[in-house]
Amino acid sequence: RGRPKVDLLAGLNPAQREAVLHAGSPVLVVAGAGSGKTRVLTRRIAYLVGERKVHPGSILAITFTNKAAAEMRHRVADLIGGRAKLMWISTFHSACVRILRSDINRFGLSRTFSIYDDADSKRLMQLVLNDLGLDPKKYPTRALLSWVSNQKNELIDHETAASLATSEQDRNNAAAYAEYQRRLAAANALDFDDIIMTTVHLLQAFPELREQYRRRFRHVLVDEYQDTNHAQYVLIRELCSTELSDAAGHAGETERDGELGRDSEHDVEPPELMVVGDSDQSIYAFRGATIRNILDFESDFPGARTILLEQNYRSTQTILNAANAVIVQNENRKPKRLWSEAGDGPLITGYVADSEHDEAQFVAREIDKLRDEKQLTYGDVAVFYRTNAQSRAFEEVFIRVGMPYKVVGGVRFYERREIRDAIAYLRAIANRADDVSLRRILNVPKRGIGDKAEGAVADLAARERISFGDALRRVDEIDGLATRSARLLTDFAAFMDAHEAMVTNGVPADQILLSVLEKSGYLAELSGSEDPQDETRLENLQELIGVAREFVAEATPVAPGDFELTAEDLAGLTAEELAELALLTGVDPQTGELATAATMPAASDPGESASEGSDPDGEPEDGSLSLAAGAPEPDPSLGAFLERVALVADSDQIPDTNESAGVVTLMTLHTAKGLEFDTVFLTGLEDAVFPHQRSLQAVGDEDRAESSSRVAAYGRAGGAGSKRRDSKELEEERRLAYVGITRAQQRLYLTRAVVRTVWGTPQHNPPSRFLNEIPERLIDWRRLQSATTSWRNTSATSRSQTTWRARPGAGSYGGSGGADGGSPAFGSGRRTAKEVPVLAAGDKVLHTRFGLGKVIATSGSVEDPRADVDFGSHGIKRLAVRHAPIEKL
Ligand code: ATP
Ligand code: MG
């Protein structure tokens, strides 16, 4: 049509181009942070569809979060239109859930299974431990769950675990594992790790099924490959390994392939595989991830080609130098160096805060300044910390100064009580076998169904070997049940029946949710309450309804043409953004038309029109694989919504780029992976905070002594002679530091607090060893010393002076009064006088652990004020005001 062809290779360096173009053998792209690995992956998908005319339905791309998946899909959708919906771009978990929804019945399980999250699993395991009579001191729930998780990540089922057990502990663990699995199956549920393991077992047990998926997915692409665990690796191998291709060749299936428009001449060839990763960014070893998967790629996939990228396009050279200086301290790594053409940029800013409050205030002040002086938006800024609990101090200050922010992860939305109640309702409605969910809400809000009535139903269920939900519908069979109880149970069953009918009739998820919350009386109870926390709960539920609405709107089928960008869409973009968009999408900025979509054959896409398979009850009983069922079709049903909710990863709460203009993002370092921000605050750089206490405990005795001493000098003090091996855990912490530093594009801030209050106890931690690993010349210390120096800090500082390896400026750490003047010394860890809130009855306070509370009475002395505070569900607490981590509101 005379329109210039889009160059999908433009804006790629030669190595990136090679990775996009490579065809045939498996390919591994290994490269440091910000070198364009994700860009290569996205471009390759676009290139496959746009240039190699690969059918979108035969592409499987795995990202680390659902958010990343959505972003990638969006970019490709811009290029090829609604057909992008035919691609599987998702996390490992989402992809596996889809395989299981279509094929788990081969294992005799129902396709309408529930997915248990961490809290569900924990409750289930507690029941198991109770039943087995295991001593909770010897077998803590958490430890046992993580043991089970490790087994599953290694694809060890409970029978195998039992046969491998050599100690009593192992035998008991395996017994708990077996019972836990039995109960999951009875509830028709899978936990998170089951999702991957069951999929692998399914593909291994049914070779013809595996062949079908191998034929379907002609291209498999995996981002963040360094964080795959063994089970995920085996899954990829099942789908892509050459060794298995001999088993291919079931006649009859080939024709089906042809119908779907995939290159049927290739169907005996293994799919093309591309994985990208960076072993320096492996931060999930504690969850079973192993960089062996990267290191062994070439031997696992013979004929594989490895492509290295070295140029970083994200960060300034100063930031890269800092990142490199930290990561070279790890011994177990392949040396590599990143370089950038972005120039040196500003120095890194360092700040030593008195306390975590002071640290947060500094961050807030700086963000304001950057907005004024550098025209940054809030959305350009991210604040990272090691553990979720650290978000609290930032939130307090940001709320006070009115700075808009969003905590990613943190107090996880989906873990809040009211949200879990609402989800439990929905699950019990979607899956009648889900006893745990049903019993959770049986009497929530209180409807007079007591333990006795519940017990009677449970007895009937046990006697008849039916689910609790089925027993609830048969209360007339229970002898000796009080008439009132029987009526209450019957009413409740009718309520559930009515909502089950809504599911059957295809009522969208948001309407079912709203109906449940209203008709159950849940909303009414909260709105009638005086408890301020209940108001927050109402808001949270409103947010959940909003989430459901958004989900339904998104999942409603798109009309062809919805993906075309209009000139209006393009208005308001900068010239640079326009150019990038044109490059990436093939949109002619003059007309807003899609160049490439027009060149795509308008062939009918079987998957696009297919809508069978969305009906949960319509499973074909012959167990045949309907390839169309695997194609993603818009599905606003309750089941689909619950699936989305169950799979929300922390990073999925990151605001969309265009919405985020007004929000500072707070998140843990783990959730920051893969992202980039103009300005990054890396906070809490103290030994025992980051690196985490656990990683220090794992080091040798000598180190333990050192780290347990709260006033210890710099961790690596002692000079070259004492260099020792770091623990595996410490090396993982260091990779986490590398991830954090390399998120920054222009500006990086490093902060630490001299005193940090943890669980109400003030702690003095020495500076993080990672700070010491960054060359002094890269950091401009805004403040080197706490303003409120206590005797302990002073002694720490002078110790650090004597052991400090000689470097310029180190002397300024020394004790003679802070450079900022500063207030007189206070007792160690106490709040300074100005920080102690003066409380009176009726005041509202925010406690880091107990949340919002109301002061009922005060007592004590001026020196040592006390307050009795009502924290609602946490009860009334008497607090030593000077020490309590509270904020007056
Ligand atoms: P990470 O290891 O942190 O996941 P990555 O290797 O995946 O990083 P990307 O996120 O793909 O890196 O790219 C980092 C930044 O550099 C992005 O903003 C990307 O758009 C940009 N970029 C990548 N390659 C190029 C290139 N050849 N020219 C210009 N910019 C590029
Ligand atoms: Mg990436």
- Three-state SS annotation for 609-641: HCCCCCCCCCCCCCCCCCHHHHCCCCCCCHHHH
Asked whether 650 and 412 are in contact (CB, 8 A), the reply is yes
Minimum-distance ligand to the CA of 278?
1
Q: Is 34 annotated as a binding residue?
A: yes
Give just the sign of the alpha carbon dihedral 461, 467, 468, 469: negative
Annotated catalytic, 224? yes
290 part of the active site:
no
Question: Which parts of the chain register pLDDT below 70?
Answer: 1-6, 79-80, 242-268, 409-413, 532-533, 556-634, 648-661, 698-725, 759-760, 786-835, 863
Does ligand 1 come within 6 angstroms of the Cβ of 35? yes
Q: Does the beta carbon of 311 sit less than 6 angstroms from any atom of ligand 1?
A: no
Q: Which ligand is nearest to the CA of 36?
A: 1
Q: Is the CB of 277 under 6 A from ligand 1?
A: no
Query: Is 35 annotated as belonging to a binding site?
Result: yes
Residue nearest to atom 28 of ligand 1 (CA): 11
CA nearest ligand 1 atom 13, residue: 36
What is the model's pLDDT at position 510?
93
Q: How far is CA 192 from CA 96, 150, 189, 292, 729, in A?
A: 11, 12, 10, 23, 24
878 beta partners: 868
Q: Could you name the CATH architecture of 114-187?
A: Orthogonal Bundle (1.10)
Name the β-bridge partners of 273. 220
Does 655 contact ligand 1 (Cβ within 6 A)?
no
789-805 residues labelled b (16+ CB within 10 A) or e (exposed): bbebbbebbebbeeebe
Asked if 685 and 351 count as a contact pair (C-beta separation under 8 A), the reply is: no
With a 6 Å cutoff on the Cβ, whether 787 touches ligand 1 is no
| 29 in contact with ligand 1, CB cutoff 6 A | no
pLDDT for res 220: 97
Which protein residue has the closest C-alpha to ligand 1 atom 31? 313
**Cα distance between residue 757 and residue 313, in whole Å:** 39
3-state secondary structure of 781: strand
Q: Does 319-408+661-813 match 1-113+189-309+557-632 at the fold level?
A: yes
Token pair 């089928």 in the structure block, residue: 557
Cα of 535 vs centre of ligand 1, distance in Å, is 43
Q: Is 36 annotated as a binding residue?
A: yes
Q: Whose CA is nearest to atom 8 of ligand 1?
A: 34
34 C-alpha vs ligand 1 centroid, how far in Å? 5
CA of residue 874 to ligand 1 center, whole Å: 47
The Å distance, Cα 327 to ligand 2 centre, comes to 18
C-alpha to C-alpha distances, 170 to 74, 130, 131, 137, nearest whole angstrom:
47, 18, 18, 15
Instruction: Give nearest CA residue, ligand 1 atom 19.
Output: 36
* Domain residue spans of the chain: 1-113+189-309+557-632, 114-187, 319-408+661-813, 414-555, 836-888
Tokens of 388: 């979720």
Task: Provide the token pair at 701.
Answer: 């005795």
Pocket test for ligand 1, best of 7, 18, 38 (most atoms within 8 A of CB): 38
Under 8 Å between Cβ of 493 and 473: yes
pLDDT of residue 383: 98
Q: Which atom of ligand 1 is nearest to the CA of 31?
A: 6
User: Could you name the CATH architecture of 319-408+661-813?
Assistant: 3-Layer(aba) Sandwich (3.40)
- Ligand 1 site, residue 192, Cβ cutoff 6 A: no
Is 220 near ligand 1, meaning CB less than 6 Å away?
A: no
| CB-ligand 1 contact for 473 (6 Å cutoff) | no
Query: Please, are residues 147 and 125 in contact by the beta-carbon 8 Å criterion?
Result: no
With beta carbons less than 8 A apart as the criterion, state whether 198 and 190 touch: yes
Per-residue model confidence (pLDDT) at position 599: 28
Query: Per the annotation, does 38 bind a ligand?
Result: yes
Cβ-based neighbours of 767, under 8 Å, separated by 6 or more: 352, 685, 686, 687, 714, 752, 800
Question: Is the Cβ atom of 12 under 6 angstroms away from ligand 1?
Answer: yes
Supply the residue whose CA is at minimum distance from atom 27 of ligand 1.
12
Give the closest residue (by CA) to ligand 1 atom 15: 314
- Ligand 1 pocket test: which of 314, 324, 675 has the largest number of ligand atoms within 8 Å of its C-beta? 314
Whether 38 is catalytic: yes
Q: What number does the ligand 1 atom closest to the CA of 312 have? A: 16
Answer yes or no: is 31 a known binding residue. yes
Atom of ligand 1 nearest to the CA of 742: 3
Query: Out of 83, 218, 392, 743, which one is annotated catalytic?
Result: 743
Centroid of ligand 2 to alpha carbon of 653 (angstroms)? 18
Ligand with the closest atom to the CA of 40: 1
Residue among 18, 28, 35 to mutate when testing ligand 1 (max atoms within 8 A of CB): 35
The answer for residues whose C-beta is within 8 angstroms of residue 56's C-beta and 6 or more apart is 49, 76, 80, 83, 84, 86, 87
* Residue 547 near ligand 1, beta carbon < 6 Å: no
Using the 8-state DSSP alphabet, how is residue 558 labeled? P
Burial class (CB in 10 A: 0-12, 13-18, 19+), 199: buried
763 classed as catalytic: no
115-119 long-range contacts (CB < 8 A, ≥24 apart) are 115/189, 115/190, 115/191, 115/192, 115/195, 115/642, 115/643, 115/646, 115/647, 116/184, 116/189, 116/190, 116/191, 116/192, 116/436, 117/192, 117/414, 117/646, 118/192, 119/415, 119/420
From the list 179, 223, 395, 500, the catalytic residue is 223
Q: How far is the CA of 688 from the centre of ligand 1 (A)?
A: 32
The CATH number of the structural domain formed by 414-555 is: 1.10.486.10
> What ligand has the least distance to the C-alpha of 35?
1
The CATH number of the domain covering residues in 836-888? 2.40.10.170
Q: Which is the closest atom of ligand 1 to the Cα of 278?
A: 2
Note whether 458 and 558 are within 8 A (CB): no
Does ligand 1 come within 6 angstroms of the Cβ of 537? no
- Report which ligand 1 atom has the smallest distance to the Cα of 40: 11
**pLDDT in the model for residue 656:** 54
Q: Is 32 annotated as a binding residue?
A: yes
Of all protein residues, whose CA lies closest to atom 30 belonging to ligand 1?
313
User: Residue 674 Cα, ligand 1 centroid: separation in angstroms?
Assistant: 10
Structural class in CATH, domain 1-113+189-309+557-632: alpha beta
Q: Is the CB of 674 under 6 A from ligand 1?
A: yes
